[in-house]
A and B are shown apart, each in its own frame.
Chain A
Amino acid sequence: MATRDENSAAQSGFDQAFLKKLEYLHIVAKKVFAGRLRAERRSRKTGAGIEFADHRQYTPGDDLRYLDWAVYGRMDRLLLRLFEEEEDLYIYILVDRSASMRLGSPGDGAPLLQHGRDGRIAKLGYAAQVAAALAYVGLSNLDRVALHAFAEDMQDQLPAARGKGRIFKVFDFLAGLSPSGHTDLRAAISEFVHKTRRRGVAVVLSDFYDAAGYEEALNLLRYHRFEPAVIQIIDPREARPQLRGDLELFDMETGEGRQVTLTDAMCAAYAKVHAEYCHTLETFCGARGIGYLRASTDVPFEDLMLRVLREGGFLR
């Protein structure tokens, strides 16, 4: 089974070399962050554990076995003893597979991780590499890692599982992604939070090009007690376009078109608008304690992962 998974992943670009890169990243991360990173994570959920955590007021119907009779004797108050409930950490990796993530692809139907002649890779391919690295690190830490692909809604998912052996399933899942559909972050996240009972870290890999906005979607994660983190995938060509002359621009997702004659000044103005857009997202995340990272596809994903691991915030 593992062999079959390896073969299919290798066909999509997630080959042994890629796996070695992930292993290397994992080892480097261990050395750099020794003592801080441990496989065992403790959830903040209180429940049937053995380690005392807190008291709370008794309410009728609570299990009388957990009443703290000693406190009752001293203070004449009915308090219930709470224990930290130990459970596995859930890491949800949400990958945007909308049509806009096709940007940078060398051609239609090209393998996800194929690099173009300029050495760059499609945004979805880059997001898949990052997602695979995150999953590998999580699986190596014995966390439960689940992957979800979304566009206008949640479309594919790889259920949460643990153990490094699952990495090939992750590869297989990511290799099967292809960009299509338009982005609707709110609908997709809403579906995610309502279908996912276990809370955990939710890493969103997307370009966040949603006409309806991204704020509500990220707030939904927060409101549902997920720990959201954002990795914004951008291509340098969309940040600083080199387009000139008479063009018809059309949106990759909606097909909406516009005839323009681009000049240097207009391209500079666009670059400025794009930078403002990214900065707004970053500010939004920073104000709400959401981890934010901007990933440009011209930066090797290994460097990005080292930066992720070094700065922390996504994986504790």
Chain B
Amino acid sequence: MSFLGLAVQQLALIFAAAAVVLTALYLLKQQRRRVEVPFIRLWQQVLQRSEATSLWRKLLRLLSLLLQLLVLLLLVLSLGDPRLGRSQRGRTLVLLIDASASMQARMPSPTGRGDSTRLAAAQAQARSFVRSLGGDDLAVVVALDGQPAPMGGLSYEESDLLAQIDGVQARDTGADLPAAIALCRALLLGRPSPTVVLFSDGGFDEASLPTLTAGQDLDVYFQPLPQISSPAADRTLGNAALTALSVRRYRRNRLSYEVLVRMAWFPRPVTSGVLADGTALPSTAQRATLELRQDGEVVDVQTVELMPNQAVERIYNNLSGAGRNIEARLQLVGAADGDILPLDDRAYTVLPERRQQRVLIVTPGNLFLEGALLATGAGEENHLRVERVTPSAYDPARADRYDAVIFDAFTPKAPPNAHAIYLDPQGPSSPFPLRGTLKSPLVTDVEASHPILRWVSLTDVNMSKSSVFVLQPGDRALAGMFKQPLIVAREESTRSGLRRSLALGFDLRASDLPLRVAFPLLLMNALDWFAGDVDEDLGSRRTGQIWRIALSGIARRAGAPRPLSATANLLLPDGESITTPVSEGYALHYGQRVGFYELSLPESAPLRFAANLSDPIESAATLRSELRVGDKRLAAPEPGQRALRRTLWPYLLLAAVALLLLEWWSYHRRWTV
């Protein structure tokens, strides 16, 4: 038995003090009513006769004291809120409630009135299960979404667990089942009879299902959603989903965009299990209307034929109008109410703003370089405006008028107040310190994940010689020979903001790199990196991920310094404004809702972006009646041993009242007086 109220020592102290008072009161002479009698001798005769039973009377009076002490003990014990100790039959349970996007799918209400959601049905099942738990069962509720988290602490309390269940909210994300199982394993580590009960529609990535049975340390049960009689068989029922809405710039002209819309039709969910899923799907196409809107205005409407479980794509070319909100809407033709999951019927994106980039080349003359820049979009109509000066004409004071400066075979005395590319920097004034020269080096180490090296292959690049850089804080070696950096990217925070630069340790003229496709790509990626434009960041993001949003994309107001803020304000799609942390020039946020977001800093115009579900597994809205992992079928959970309520104080109070009644009755029957 354990006490959740006062500690045992406190209870003992209270009981001792109260018992002393009670005994003192008991020992004190009672104030008796005085009655005159005319001749007490007669009474004395009677009393002498009754004194033969005085010992028995004293015992009875002692019994009265004992009863009162027992009542006191029960009252003091109830102050301690005692709980029954765990027996060997007690389990430790994690109630894993699926809160992923597919749980927002509509389903008929069990009462037959209106529609409910899968999550509501799962919560009702979880409540029912909690009420069936035994007195020894300890449980906690975990919300299963893209970032599984417990809704409270482990508790025996039915009310606590019900509150935890009520706290589960559906998210616009997928379900990270492996992370949830790992969390369950951590929560149940070292506890008796560890048990996980999964309340879900079963719509998981099949690759993640083996985690349910990995290891023998957990008993995992699956509670399928209730089987509610489905409507007429001829009624269209399923989920039409926008599974992707992407926007990208043209390589030649970064000021123009194209938009890709991907759609899919997932007919009525099959409920026969994993193996049967997808085998008996209807093959009839479903017609739907696709609408594209810019800032709320319809710019295109078309009807599409959606084949079951097959992606259909539409591409919108040559879109312009940077900074506009783009929204795609998909609606079934003739069966609008047949779509069970409205969440993915809309997809959002923002055409990212991109202004022209001014580039200054400081070179004695390098056709390779100028030609490559022409190939990457230099021109009046395009996104690059290139100017060239000789090293002798270079004016450092004018450098900050440009977005990027390329130093070719020339090393400035001080780095410019702009992004910069250094081609073969030399001398002590080199912003990238040198520690030597390698002759005919080979590129053995490549940091392929860096945005600058996207689609760039440096294999077999030849050069007559190359300087070796000494890495400084913020430097990242993109290519090198046996850990000796030959190409280095730098990212540093300065008073005027994030500053990026790139250094190649060799002269282009003494290398075959300019003759390769990799060179214009390298230049293009570097200039995009300087502009904070990475393709995967364009327009929209996926929910269920931690977003790194570059603050460099936020346009400063004229004259306002770029603040070195540790936080940024983020306006969520539902209108809620939150503060999100900033690290190394990026705002960090775990995306849980689809829609348009606005990130803002003080004295800056907000940066808009969008988020979409973009998860075909969730959009499939699978509804499984059983969950199989290999040959093993997950069983339904069993109710607990419901022998006694967990809280004991009501019983103690009832016992105290019963004893008081017994004492009262015996007193008035003159047994214990």
Q: Measured between C-beta atoms, what is the minimum distance from B405 to chain A in Å? A: 109
Q: A248-B34, A261-B670 are in contact. Are A256 and B46 (CB under 8 A)?
A: no
The verdict on B36 contacting chain A, using a C-beta distance below 8 Å, is: yes
Partner of B42, one of A246, A260, A263, A270: A270
A110 located at the interface, meaning its Cβ lies under 8 Å from any Cβ of chain B in the complex: no
In contact, B35 and A209 (Cβ under 8 angstroms): no
The CB with the most chain A CB atoms within 10 A, among B30, B34, B37, B41, is that of B37
Residues of B within 8 A of A245 (CB): 33, 673
**Interchain CB contact under 8 A, A258 and B43:** yes
| Contact call A247/B38, Cβ cutoff below 8 A | no
User: Chain A residues near B38 (CB, 8 Å)?
Assistant: 100, 103, 123, 207, 209, 235, 238, 251-253
Q: A246–B673 contact, CB under 8 A?
A: yes
CA distance A241 to B39 in the complex (A): 13
B27 within 8 A of partner (CB)? no
Q: Report if A1 contacts B (CB, 8 A).
A: no
Cα distance A248–B34 when bound, in Å? 5
CA A260 – CA B51 in complex, angstroms?
A: 11
Query: How many B residues, CB 8 Å from partner?
Result: 22
Q: Is A211 an interface residue (CB 8 A)?
A: yes
B32 located at the interface, meaning its Cβ lies under 8 Å from any Cβ of chain A in the complex: yes
Query: A203–B39 Cα gap in the complex (Å)?
Result: 22
A254 at the interface (CB under 8 A from B): yes
Q: Given A261-B670, A266-B50, A269-B49, is A250 in contact with B36 using a C-beta cutoff of 8 Å? A: yes
Residues of chain A within 8 A (CB-CB) of B37 are 238, 241, 249-252
Which residues of the other chain, B, contact A251 by a CB distance below 8 angstroms? 36-40
In the complex, what residues of A have CB within 8 A of residue B45's CB?
A: 273
Asked whether, in the complex, the Cβ of A249 is within 8 Å of the Cβ of B49, the reply is no
Q: Is B47 an interface residue (CB 8 A)?
A: yes
Say yes or no for A18: interface residue by CB 8 A criterion: no
Q: Which residues of the partner chain B approach A59 to less than 8 Å between Cβ atoms?
A: none
Pairwise interchain contact B41-A259, C-beta atoms closer than 8 A: no
Contact pick for B32, options A103, A211, A238, A248, CB 8 Å: A248
Chain B proximity of A271: nearest CB distance (Å): 9
Q: Which residue of A lies closest to B44 (CB)?
A: A258
* Contact flags A54-81 to B (C-beta < 8 A → 1, else 0): 0000000000000000000000000000
Q: A243 at the A/B interface (Cβ < 8 Å)?
A: yes
Is A24 interfacial (CB 8 A cutoff)?
no
A33 at the interface (CB under 8 A from B): no
Which one of B45, B46, B670 has the greatest number of beta carbons of chain A within 10 Å?
A: B46
Chain A hits for B49, CB < 8 A? 269
Within the assembled complex, what's the spacing in Å between the Cα atoms of A288 and B670?
45
Q: Which residue of B lies closest to A256 (CB)?
A: B40
Contact of A259 with B32 in the complex, beta carbons under 8 Å: yes
**Cα of A203 to Cα of B124 in the assembled complex, Å:** 98
Q: Return chain A residues, CB-CB under 8 Å to B673.
A: 245-246, 261
Q: How far is the CB of B46 from chain A (nearest CB, A)?
A: 5
B42 touches A254 (CB 8 A): no
A211 with B41, Cβ < 8 A, contacts A246-B33, A259-B32 known: yes
Does the CB pair B46–A100 fall under 8 Å?
no
Instruction: Kindly state the separation between the CA atoms of A252 and B42 in the bound complex, as whole angstroms.
Output: 13
A310 adjacent to chain B (CB < 8 Å): no
Question: Quick one: given A258-B47, A261-B670, A269-B49, are A250 and B34 in contact (CB under 8 Å)?
Answer: yes
For B41, what are the chain A residues with a Cβ–Cβ distance below 8 Å?
209, 211
* A254-290 near B? 1/0 per residue, CB < 8 Å: 1011111101001001100110010000000000000
Q: Which residue of A lies closest to B40 (CB)?
A: A251
Cα distance A243–B30 when bound, in Å?
Answer: 17
Q: Is the interface of A mostly helix, strand, loop or mixed?
A: mixed
| Interchain CA distance A253-B40 in the complex, whole Å | 9
Which partner residue on chain B sits nearest A268 by CB separation? B46
Q: Looking at the assembled complex, report how far the CB atom of A207 sits from the nearest CB atom of chain B, in whole angstroms.
A: 6
Q: Which residues of A contact B32 (CB under 8 A)?
A: 246-248, 259
Task: Kindly supply a per-residue 1/0 record for chain B positions 1-35, scoring 1 wherever the CB is within 8 Å of any chain A CB and 0 otherwise.
Answer: 00000000000000000000000000001101111
Inter-chain contacts of B35 with A (CB < 8 A)? 243, 247-250
Contact status B40-A258, CB under 8 Å? yes
What bracket does the count of chain A residues touching chain B fall in? 20 to 34
On chain A, the residues within 8 Å of B50 by CB distance are 266, 269
In the docked arrangement, what's the CA distance between A211 and B39, Å? 8
Minimum distance in angstroms from A233 CB to a CB of chain B = 10
Docked Cα-Cα span, A149 to B29, in Å, equals 41
User: Nearest Cβ in chain B — how far from A106, in angstroms?
Assistant: 14
Q: Which of B39, B40, B42, B47 has the largest number of chain A CB atoms within 10 A?
A: B39
Q: From B39, which residue of chain A is reached at the shortest CB distance? A: A209
Q: Shortest Cβ distance from B219 into chain A, in angstroms?
A: 65
Cα A235 to Cα B33 with chains together (Å): 21
Residue of B nearest to A261 (CB): B673
Q: How far is the CA of A251 from the CA of B40 in the complex (A)?
A: 5
A274 to B42, CA, bound (A): 7
User: How many Å lie between the Cα of A43 and that of B515 in the bound state?
Assistant: 176
Contact check, B40 vs A249: say whether CB atoms are below 8 A apart.
yes
The reply to whether B42 and A277 form a contact with Cβ atoms under 8 Å apart is yes
Taking CB atoms, residues of chain B closer than 8 Å to A100 are 38-39
Q: CA–CA, A249 to B35, complex, Å?
A: 5
Which residues of chain B from 532 to 568 have a CB within 8 Å of any chain A CB? Answer: none
Are B39 and A270 in contact, with the CB atoms below 8 A?
Answer: no
Whether B44 pairs with A252 at a CB distance below 8 angstroms is no
Contact A248 B44 (CB under 8 A): no
Closest residue of B by beta carbon distance from A241: B37
User: In the bound complex, what is the Cα–Cα distance between A238 and B43 (angstroms)?
Assistant: 11
Interface centre among A249, A250, A258, A260 (most CB of B within 10 A): A249
Q: Given the complex of chains A and B, what is the CA–CA distance between A123 and B38 in angstroms?
A: 11
Note all chain A residues with C-beta closer than 8 A to B43. Answer: 249, 258, 260, 270
- CB nearest to B37 among chain A residues: A249
CA gap between A250 and B34 in the complex, in Å:
7
Taking the closest CB of chain A, its distance from the CB of B33, in whole angstroms, is 5
Within 8 A of B (CB), among A196-252: 207, 209, 211, 235, 238, 241, 243, 245-252
Please determine whether B46 and A266 come into contact, CB atoms closer than 8 angstroms.
yes
Given A247-B35, A248-B35, A249-B37, check contact A269 B42 (CB 8 Å): no
Using CB atoms, name the residue of chain A closest to B671.
Answer: A263
Min C-beta distance of A105 to chain B, whole Å: 10
**Neighbouring B residues of A259 by C-beta, 8 Å:** 29, 32
Q: Are A273 and B33 in contact (CB under 8 A)?
A: no
Whether the pair B40, A246 counts as a contact (CB closer than 8 A) is no
Contact code string B194-225 (vs A, CB < 8 Å = 1, else 0):
00000000000000000000000000000000
Are the CB atoms of A246 and B46 closer together than 8 Å?
A: no
In whole Å, how far is B137's beta carbon from the nearest beta carbon of chain A?
Answer: 53
Instruction: Kindly state the separation between the CA atoms of A268 and B429 in the bound complex, as whole angstroms.
Output: 125
Q: Which A residue sits closest to B49, measured CB to CB?
A: A269
CB distance from A280 to the nearest CB of B (A): 12
A274 CB contacts on chain B under 8 angstroms = 42
CB distance from B173 to the nearest CB of A (A): 76
Q: Which B residues touch A273, using CB under 8 A?
A: 42, 45-46
- On chain B, the residues within 8 Å of A266 by CB distance are 46-47, 50
> Across the two chains, which residue of chain B brings its CB closest to A101?
B38
Nearest neighbor of B41 in chain A, beta-carbon distance? A211
Q: Which residues of B contact A269 (CB under 8 A)?
A: 46, 49-50
CB distance from B76 to the nearest CB of A (A): 28
Known: A245-B33, A259-B32, A266-B46. A250 touches B40 (CB 8 A): yes
User: For the complex, what is the distance from the CA of A274 to the CA of B45, rounded to whole Å?
Assistant: 10
When C-beta atoms are compared, the residue in chain B nearest to A99 turns out to be B38
Binding site for A on B (CB under 8 A): 29-30, 32-47, 49-50, 670, 673
9 A-B contact pairs sorted by A residue (CB < 8 Å): A100-B39, A243-B35, A247-B33, A249-B43, A251-B36, A251-B38, A251-B39, A259-B32, A260-B47
What is the interface of chain A, defined by CB distance below 8 A to chain B?
100, 103, 123, 207, 209, 211, 235, 238, 241, 243, 245-254, 256-261, 263, 266, 269-270, 273-274, 277
> Beyond the given A238-B39, A250-B36, could you list 12 further A-B residue pairs with CB under 8 A, ordered by the A residue number?
A238-B37, A238-B38, A243-B35, A245-B673, A246-B32, A249-B37, A250-B35, A251-B38, A252-B36, A254-B40, A259-B29, A273-B42
Give me the 4 closest cross-chain CB pairs, A-B, nearest first.
Answer: A100-B38, A209-B39, A251-B40, A248-B32
